[in-house]
Structure 1
């Protein structure tokens, strides 16, 4: 049995309006409520561990991509939630063995922190792509 240390979702993250992203092509095939919850949890982990490179997976990663594409809104949301812009490097792991190791580490960190702070995701969402 995993010993969870619950991580409350920050009010600024909880209040994030994701409704306009619901119809984004990247997320249309997912259960919307579960996807939004996973993304909020990812953002919570980013806030809790600001100096860690974390790579979400599955639906959370795809919703992050959709959010980033609305650059003005994403910038504003980052400033409100984190007090700074959260960069993203979509090609992490694509260019070299060292990059792949870095991506693997970022995915492992995300999975470890997720398991520590949140209950297991539903069967519809998988932590590994």
Structure 2
């Protein structure tokens, strides 16, 4: 049986993004600079990241990238410019820009806000877009695929943020 919270999330427009992410073809060119294996795990992470972006774009929020491997795969996708532009239109209704650390205008949130806050919002975005019972691979993916200097989030921090979200949503009735 579907929870009321999940039904509400579907109603706020994520179905379009889910469908676009599921339909997105990821050609080998996406992985030119992303050598980590298993590639299927990196693809899962990239698809989960793109779904998190749906919540961020919808709410005009900036989220942080928790995985170096997924970031490299995303860069590869962005370089497939026509595919990426079409995907963004299908998934988000507009183009989603990439604002890497050090690449954003000096007065923008991307340049002035701590990465810890952006990553906190990434966990919140995941809580909004995750399917019931789905496990997120983003938080420890780099460690799992052998990235030398993994990014990620520690399990305790993810649990703390998820607990805060659960407390907030427990009082929400739909």
Asked if structure 1 preserves the Cα contact closer than 8 Å seen for 2:31 and 2:76, the reply is no
Residue equivalent to 1:37: 44
Establish whether residue 67 from structure 1 lines up as the match of residue 77 from structure 2: yes
Q: Report deviation, 1:20.
A: 3.0
Establish whether residue 124 from structure 1 lines up as the match of residue 141 from structure 2: no
Indicate the SS of the match to 2:48: helix
- Say which of 18, 40, 53 aligns to 2:62: 53
Residue equivalent to 1:87: 97
TM-score normalised by structure 1 residue count: 0.72
State the structure with bigger RCO (CA 8 A, min sep 6), 1 or 2. 1
Asked if structure 2 preserves the Cα contact closer than 8 Å seen for 1:93 and 1:100, the reply is no
Q: Report deviation, 1:36.
A: 0.8
Q: Report deviation, 1:100.
A: 5.6
Using the alignment, how far apart are the partners of 1:120 and 1:102 within structure 2?
23
TM-score normalised by structure 2 residue count: 0.56
- Higher helix proportion, which one? 2
Residue equivalent to 1:10: 18
Residue equivalent to 2:27: 19
Question: Structure 1 stretches (4+) deviating beyond 6 angstroms?
Answer: 5-9, 93-96
Greater mean alpha carbon deviation, residues 45-54 or residues 115-124: 115-124
Residue equivalent to 2:86: 76
Q: Which has the larger radius of gyration?
A: 2
Cα RMSD after superposing both structures: 3.1
Structure 2: give runs of 5+ residues left out of the alignment.
10-14, 146-150, 154-174
Using the alignment, how far apart are the partners of 2:93 and 2:31 within structure 1?
27
